[in-house]
Amino acid sequence: MKEKIVDDAFWHEKWQRNEIGFHEPQPNAFLLRNFAQMHLPASGRIFVPLCGKTLDIHWLLSQGHQVCGIELSPIAVGQLFAALGLSPRVTATGTLQRFEAGKLCIFVGNVFDLTRHDLGHVDTVYDRAALIALPAAARSRYATHLVSITNAAPQLLVCVEYDQSCRAGPPFSVDEAEVRQHYGRQFMLTRMERHDIPGGLKGACPAAETVWKLVPLDGNASPQSPGA
């Protein structure tokens, strides 16, 4: 099956049309079950790439954590802050805009324009819908960029696996071999869960979700924040 064009315009149109079936109506169950395994300090700082307006951020904030994210759509970011009852300060950071209020900071723009300096220290990364949102040609670049800007911070990664020939995506299929291809040199990878998706992926084909814990190998560890 031919891969559809998934670029900035694709996602802007999704948000403009409110075609956001990927937005879950409650915090992700994998996050709730597995996040404690990341062993963060109470005030740890979590980076959520391609975050949309996910309710996972609500939950992370409720646990006392600091949350930083990046999202392409200003519609999504506006709705996120509104749902939280927050009025963000907005500043320009290069080609990005930075929305900040309390313990929440969201950059608006392309993830590849975000630098390590802009992002600052990260204790862990939570990637539920970023890697699998990108077509094959962009995933390797994304993974390399993510490791660089987060200084190889530990990561909780959620992927979906299915026969890519049966539908074009997104979400795109990312299996164990590809996870290891992108992250195996820098991290020890542990598969925390794997579950078949009831009814398959949008009824098109059998599929499963997997949850990975990525811990930096010796020499790649991100330095801990004070008090960790």
Alpha-carbon distance 173 to 178, whole Å? 9
Is there a contact between 115 and 41 (Cβ–Cβ < 8 Å)? no
The pLDDT, as a whole number, for residue 168 is 84
**CA pseudo-torsion sign 28, 159, 39, 54:** negative
Number of residues assigned to the chain: 228
Alpha-carbon distance 35 to 69, whole Å? 17
Is there a contact between 191 and 158 (Cβ–Cβ < 8 Å)? no
User: Is 50 annotated as belonging to a binding site?
Assistant: yes
User: Is 128 annotated as belonging to a binding site?
Assistant: yes
Sketch the domain layout of the chain as residue ranges.
Answer: 8-16+27-216
User: Is 15 annotated as belonging to a binding site?
Assistant: yes
- Reported as a single tens digit per residue, the pLDDT across 67-95 is 999 999 999 999 999 999 999 999 999 99
Does domain 8-16+27-216 fall under CATH 3.40.50.2300? My reply is: no
**How many Cβ atoms from other residues are within 10 Å of residue 121's Cβ?**
18
pTM of the model: 0.92
- Reported as a single tens digit per residue, the pLDDT across 40-70 is 988 899 999 999 999 999 999 999 999 999 9
**Among 89, 132, 93, CA closest to 113:** 93
Give the 3-state secondary structure of residue 63: coil
